[in-house]
Structure 1
Amino acid sequence: MNQQALSAFIWSVADLLRGDYKQADYGKVILPFTVLRRIDCVLAPTKQAVLAEFEAKLAAGVNPDPFLFRKAGQTFYNTSKLDMRTLIGDPDNIAANLYAYIQGFSEDVRDIFERFEFATQIDRLAKAKLLYQVTEKFARVDLHPDKVSNMQMGQIFEELIRRFSELSNETAGEHFTPREVIRLMVNLLFVEDDDILSKPGVVRTIYDPTAGTGGMLSIADEYIIEHNDKARLVMNGQELNPESYAICKADMLIKGQDVSNITFGNTLSEDGHADAKFDYMLSNPPFGVEWKKVEKDIRAEHEQKGFNGRFGPGLPRVSDGSLLFLMHLISKMRPAADGGSRFAIVLNGSPLFTGGAGSGESEIRRYVLENDLLEAIIALPTDMFYNTAISTYVWVLSNRKPAHRKGKTQLIDGTLFWQKMRKSLGSKRKEIGDADIVTLTRLFGNFTEAQIATLFDANGKEVGRRMVHKGEFQPLPPEGGKIKLAPLSRIFPNDAFGYRTITVERPLRDEQGNIVVGTRGKAKGQPQADSALRDTENVPLSESVANYFAREVLPHAKDAWVDEEKTKVGYEIPFNRHFYVFQSPRPLEQIDSDLKQVTGRILQMIGELSA
């Protein structure tokens, strides 16, 4: 059974629930039953051996746990004589037997079903006389890893969660990231790391503070296994949503990971990996979600710990917590002397430019750029995510930049690299193809400037695209056609994004037009500033304030001066401005000619109506 057929079969359970459950509550039944059946199938081959070992060790008075793990061949086991197939053999006692079966699991698995609040659903299904039918339906599905791979299982969970989140109108981008976006992020993460891609026996740690169902961690693991099956990734994560956490934990259990590394709770207020450092990190935090609920904890950490905590550089506005996750990841970077770290995070457009000089957002960007942590930002196409169509960007940060990247930041416009989906999924109408992922990864890995040349034929129809790297000759246009060049990859020194906001003062004058001077203290004998004439100017860090002031201000206001005490340093990354290509308007004669033709047609139509 392929993935689509399997997810459709599981979803068909909704037909049984209709009427007794609201649509938004279907997931409370379907998700835990899917996890239960998956675990049931994984343990099936060793079931009898585990039961025999359990009886033997109880009789000997020995703690059976380590022996049962070994017999099960997993990091979990079940000591109940029941399984899902035997459960449906006793319809009259289905609820009691299902409770007993769940209690037979080892502690980590029981925790998963507690997060699902599965006992509540068993009661509810039993009262609705649906428990046997639902159990029987899932017992007929074979979810053993030999039949359904871990990758397929992850995709099934994501598809189900996507449908449930649509029904319950969840916050945009809250649940999970499309697989091709994760593959791009993983490629960017490992592209320059030869050790983990080639050396046997290498062990590295990876962390996702917004783990969801574990999709990012799983795809990173698949990538490493594909390129170096002798390397190992130790997975770590934290998740706030109980159902997503339960699925992630179940997935990690089946993969043989240490599930104590997957913690539950709000990453920003309850760091489940305090003081831990990681080699790699991935994250797709919720877009534009406010952090008012945890504001007290975050402000306390910022004010009391400063740079010894996670939020030393500053705090963004309460309406968008994206940059809090960025700072959280920076705090988890392994020191450069110990090998350093690299991470990729998906953010919306707001963190690029929101907030003027001195604001929390600007100070965070300043910290990132002045400490030379930002390697690249890649703009993704719109309509990439299931719950939102907004513009999104992948930020890649590292404290172990190679020498040729030091002091520089690369911007890549990936908005052209997409293909239309055959069928839209929520707000997701586009996907990044495998070839596009390779292209964007190479642009990042090669660290060169490039342009995209779009070729048009004589009729103005696009007939092809070519990438033109710095120093290469651009292609010739088709006969009678033309070529349009646009920047694709640009490299800037870090200070190109910085500026000084200077305060320009003009003198206060009395009714006779004379300048008013101060009479006391430091202001004595000095011209007083007229607050009504006060203005500000942004001066690039690469330029002298004195030169800028002499060129841009004094010719228009000879009596102006700069109040240096009010000068602030700011940073912003105006991504779109760096990729904007001016297109001159059509010649006026051509526009006039078109207007005359349209006017003529309108007059002709009016004449025909009046006739």
Structure 2
Amino acid sequence: MSSLNHATFIWNAADILRGTYKQHEYGDVILPFTVLSRLDAVLAPTKQAVLAACEGLGPDDEPPQAMLRAKAKHPYSFWNRSRHDLKSLQGDPDNLEKNLRDYVHAFSSSVRDIFDKYKFEDTIADLASHDLLLQILQHFAKANLHPDAVSNEQMGHIFEELIRKFAEASNETAGEHFTPREVIELMVSLLVESDDSLMTPGIVREVYDPTAGTGGMLSVAADRIHGHNAKAHVNLLGQEINPASYAICKADMVVKGQPIDNIVLGNTLTDPAFEGRTFHYGLSNPPFGVDWKQYRKQIETEHTVAGYAGRFGPGLPRVSDGSLLFLMHLISKLREPKPGEENAVAGRGAIVLNGSPLFTGGAGSGESNIRKWILESDYLEAIVGLPTDMFYNTGIATYVWVLNKDKPAHRRGLVQLIDATGMFEKMRKSIGSKRRKLSDDHIREITKLFTDFTETKHSMIFRSTDFFYRTITVERPLRLNYAITQVRVEKALASRAFAKTDAAQLAALRAALEGVTSDVVSTNRAEFSRSLAQALTDAGVTLSPAQLKALVTELGEPDDEGELVTSAGGPVADAGRRDTENVPWHEDIHDYLEREVKPFAPDAWIDGSKTKEGAEIPFTRHFYEYVPPRPLEEIDRDLDQVLGRIRVRLEAVKA
């Protein structure tokens, strides 16, 4: 049976649950029973030998793993000491609930944790109370999930398909739980194909995924590494926040022979696992555009207190999108280069992100500072633009960032952009938002573009500093005219300069100004100030020099032909005409001003105190190809043809 057929058969258990359970509850039953069925099948060949090896041990005594390996030839780090299996449990329907509980409790403690996360005991009790437990057990006993029939890779596909069905039934987004397999294949290929050290006999490689989902990335990485070197030792580690996905991932990893503690439940951003450890490879598909408001205090504390000694020293993105937090975390978990150490290999990573981390945030923002730090540190090796409609829960543009803590000499200081947006084949049937996929040929082509590291139509190479820029603030001088009009008077008296003036003084001032209100406009501040002071004196209103100065300013309005306003010997900037310009990193800002601004605003200048440094990666702009519009004659001809057909049809209707 194919993986899809297996998944369809397993999901048909919903027919048993229908009417008793709601649609969104099906997965809460089907997923843990699938895990149980897989573990039962995996342990079947050594079950009797394990029971014999455990003779004489108390029910709460856990047998040493080394003893089981030696006596029972048991290759796994988990076991089950129950006399039952899923088939034998059916022979005693009257005690089925009790026996099934005992059977689950007979697993080693680390595996029981998987079923605890599913709240499996509650599920057993609920099924038993509705007389459905035996039917469900019989259904899953028919699903042959033995490793000889279903490989680990196939089992991963089955889990993913079941989660997709569960997500559809519960109106959730399946893409939060797993990544399309061909995208994972591409990510792993980009990391592994250029690692020449993989052929070393007995080499050890550790692969880490901070958003592990059901473990698809870890599984593909292990398969690909073993494809290069069958004798390589691969350690797979990950963390997952969703209990159901965590349980599936952990079950899959222990079946692969990975240590029980390699998969951890928890929030990577606030409670990261594997503290102090770094890894050879890092892979991640964090949730797109997820906000981190509820974790804000913890993350901001790490940013301010730990600084660059922590994960988030370079900056923090806006609260509405935490993608760059996952990116910085992944970088922190990649091995640092160790010059002089034999067989020392620096960490490399690949992470899927949407377009936002490429350009969101102007110079000086958290996002820009993070990008600038990554580029300055020379951690970014390449970015691959994927086709749209590749993921199950979104059709937006996505990108694979390839990271390297120690680039080869010919790549240092450089970043490669690969445009794979047109490399896809359409799926015969859409799955959610996923309508396209990468073929094996596409993956090979993209990988070759990456390893060749040459410029082509789909591959461009830039200096890291090509993505840097400076944002300059361009000022224009303030020029004002002055007049005592009703509108200006009301604006002046409502300004902050007179906010603390008592009501009586304010009334007297208003009356005095209304007495001299006119439409006469002056462009001479000194002359206007003198006439205003005299008018106020004549009205018996006294203002301090500071108040008079503020009033004159408030009665002024910008005027290109007005008098230049100065302060401390220089012109005052007109905030209303203030502008900003982004200047490429390698260009002098003053040369830019002379060429781009001065011809249109000869009196402009740069306020150097406001200049900010930034970084953005305008991926689409670099691969944009201008397509000229069709000639007007051709458009007119097409319109005439269309209108002609419409006229013919209208005549037919009239007839």
TM-score w.r.t. length of structure 2: 0.84
Say if 1:536 and 1:78 are closer, same or farther in 2 by CA, change over 3 A.
same
The aligned counterpart of 2:472 is 502
C-alpha distance in structure 1 between counterparts of 2:174 and 2:451, whole Å: 31
Partner of 2:576: 532
Structure 1 residues 426-469: Cα deviation after superposition (integer angstroms, max 9, x where no partner): 21111100011000000001011112xxxxxxxxxxxxxxxxxx
1:372 aligns with 2:397: no
State the partner residue of 1:152: 154
Distance in 2 of aligned mates of 1:242 and 1:218: 19
For residues 80 and 644 of structure 2, the distance between their equivalents in structure 1, rounded to whole angstroms, comes to 83
Aligned with 1:119 (options 118, 121, 127):
121
Task: State how far apart, in whole Å, the 2-side matches of 1:333 and 1:439 are.
Answer: 27
* Structure 1 counterpart SS, 2:211: coil
Match for residue 269 of structure 1?
270
User: Counterpart in 2 of 1:223?
Assistant: 224
- Whether the 8 Å CA contact 1:336–1:400 is kept in 2: the answer is yes
Cα deviation for residue 591 of structure 1 reads 2.7
Q: CA deviation at 1:187?
A: 0.4
The 3-state SS of whatever aligns with 1:416 is coil
Aligned residue number for residue 240 of structure 1? 241
Q: CA distance change for structure 1 residues 79 and 604 in 2, over 3 Å: closer, same or farther? A: closer
Q: CA 1:425 to 1:93, structure 2 compared with 1: closer, same or farther past 3 Å?
A: same
1:575 paired with 2:619, answer yes
Give distance in 2, aligned partners of 1:79 and 1:525: 90
Q: Distance in 2 between matches of 1:154 and 1:362?
A: 38
C-alpha contact 1:173 1:287 (8 A) present in aligned 2: no
User: What is the CA–CA distance in structure 1 between the aligned matches of 2:228 and 2:384, rounded to whole Å?
Assistant: 24
Output the CA distance in 2 between the equivalents of 1:551 and 1:190: 48
Q: How many angstroms does 1:252 deviate by?
A: 0.9
Partner of 1:403: 409
CA–CA distance in structure 2, aligned partners of residues 47 and 440 of structure 1: 46
Question: Which residue number corresponds to residue 390 of structure 1?
Answer: 396
Per-residue CA distance 1:481-526 (angstroms, 9 max, x = gap)? xxxxxxx1111111111111100111112312221111xxxxx112
From 99, 102, 105, the equivalent of 1:103 is 105
Paired residue for 1:78, among 77, 80, 91? 80
2:10 corresponds to which residue?
A: 10
In structure 1, which of residues 541, 548, 555 is the aligned counterpart of residue 599 of structure 2?
555
Distance 2:250 2:604 in 1: 64
Q: Which has the larger radius of gyration?
A: 2
SS class of match (2:571): coil
1:34 Cα deviation from its structure 2 partner: 0.8
Q: Hey, what does 1:132 align to over in structure 2?
A: 134
Give the C-alpha shift of residue 58 in structure 1: 4.9
TM-score by length of 1: 0.90
1:597 CA drift (Å): 3.7
Deviation at 1:326, TM superposition (A): 0.2
Task: Find the residue that maps to 2:32 and give its secondary structure.
Answer: helix
Distance verdict in 2 for CA 1:600–1:232, change over 3 Å: same
The answer to whether the Cα contact below 8 Å between 1:172 and 1:388 also exists between their aligned partners in 2 is: no
Q: Structure 1's 377 and 128: CA in aligned 2 closer, same or farther, altered over 3 A?
A: same
Residues 62/206 of structure 1: CA separation in 2 closer, same or farther (3 Å cut):
closer
> 2:369 maps to which residue?
363
The corresponding residue for 2:255 is 254
> Which residue is equivalent to 2:28?
28
1:69/1:77 contact within 8 Å kept: no
- Counterpart of 1:90? 92
Q: CA deviation at 1:248?
A: 0.8
Deviations 1:335-384, CA, capped at 9 Å, x for gaps: 12253111000001111111111111111111111111111111111111
User: Structure 1 residues 373 and 506, CA, compared in 2 at 3 Å: closer, same or farther?
Assistant: same
Deviates more, 1:579-588 or 1:393-402: 579-588
- 1:52 counterpart residue number: 52
Who is 2:357 aligned against? 351
Which amino acid is the alignment partner of residue 580 of structure 2?
T
In structure 2, distance between residues paired with 1:602 and 1:123: 69
CA contact (8 A) 2:475 2:577 kept: yes
Residues paired across the two proteins, number:
568
Contact 1:224 1:232 survives alignment (8 Å): no
Cα contact 1:505–1:535 (8 A) shared by 2: yes
Match of 2:348 among 321, 342, 364: 342
- Partners of 1:290 and 1:336 lie apart in 2 by 33
**What are the superposed Cα offsets for residues 77-136 of structure 1, whole Å, 9 maximum, x if unpaired?**
111111111111011111111110111111111111111111111111111111111011
- Give the aligned CA root-mean-square deviation in angstroms: 1.7
Q: For residues 503 and 66 of structure 1, do their structure 2 counterparts lie closer, same or farther at Cα, with a shift above 3 Å needed? A: same
Amino acid at match of 1:296: K
CA distance 1:62–1:300, shift in 2 (3 Å): closer
* Structure-2 separation of matches of 1:95 and 1:605: 73
What code does the residue aligned with 2:231 have?
A: K
1:521 matched residue in structure 2: none
Residues 509 and 516, structure 1, Cα contact 8 Å, conserved in 2: yes
Closer, same or farther: CA 334–433 of 1 in aligned 2, 3 Å: same
Q: What amino acid maps onto 2:107 in structure 1?
A: F
Amino acid of the structure 2 residue aligned with 1:590: E
Q: What does residue 324 of structure 1 align with?
A: 325
Structure 1, unaligned runs of 5 or more: 452-487, 519-523
Q: Residues 405 and 64 (structure 1 numbering): CA distance in 2 closer, same or farther, change over 3 Å? A: closer
On the 8 A contact 1:166/1:387 being kept in 2, the answer is no
| Amino acid of the structure 1 residue aligned with 2:306 | K
Deviation at 1:571, TM superposition (A): 0.9
Residues 409 and 80 of structure 1: CA distance in aligned 2, closer, same or farther (over 3 Å) = same
C-alpha distance in structure 1 between counterparts of 2:566 and 2:264, whole Å: 64
Distance 1:397 1:64 in 2: 40
Q: Residues 303, 171 of structure 1: CA spacing in aligned structure 2 closer, same or farther, 3 A cutoff?
A: farther
Aligned 8 A contact 2:75 2:257 in 1: no
CA contact (8 A) 1:408 1:494 kept: yes
Structure 1 residue corresponding to 2:566, chosen from 510, 514, 517: 517
Q: CA deviation at 1:27?
A: 1.0
Call closer, same or farther: CA 1:78–1:302 in 2, change over 3 Å. same
Distance in 2 (CA, whole Å) between partners of 1:62 and 1:46 is 17
Kept after mapping to 2: 8 A contact 1:508/1:516 = yes
Matched letter for residue 333 of structure 1: L
For 2:176, what is the secondary structure of its paired residue?
coil
Preserved contact between residue 372 and residue 407 of structure 1 (Cα < 8 Å): yes
Q: Tell me, yes or no, if structure 1 residue 213 matches structure 2 residue 214.
A: yes
Paired residues of 1:381 and 1:392 also in contact (CA < 8 A): yes
State the alpha-carbon separation in 2 of the partners of residues 408 and 561 from structure 1: 34
Residue correspondence of structure 1 range 302-321 to structure 2 within 5 A: 302-321=303-322
- Equivalent pair of 1:88/1:94 in contact (CA under 8 Å): yes
Query: Contact (CA 8 Å) 1:389, 1:428: kept in 2 or not?
Result: yes
AA in 1 matched with 2:476? R
CA shift in 2, pair 1:594/1:142, >3 Å: closer
Instruction: Check the 8 A contact 2:114/2:250 in 1, yes or no.
Output: yes
Match of 2:279 in 1: 278
- C-alpha contact (below 8 Å) 1:58/1:64 kept by paired residues: no
Q: Distance in 2 between matches of 1:395 and 1:8?
A: 35
The Cα shift of 1:608 comes to 5.4
Report the CA distance between 1:423 and its aligned residue: 1.7
**1:599 Cα offset (Å):** 4.1
Report the Cα distance in structure 2 between the residues aligned to 1:259 and 1:384, rounded to whole angstroms. 33
2:555 corresponds in structure 1 to: none
Distance 1:19 1:606 in 2: 55
Q: 1:598 to 1:46 in 2, by over 3 A?
A: closer
Deviation at 1:605, TM superposition (A): 4.8
How far did residue 5 of structure 1 move?
2.1
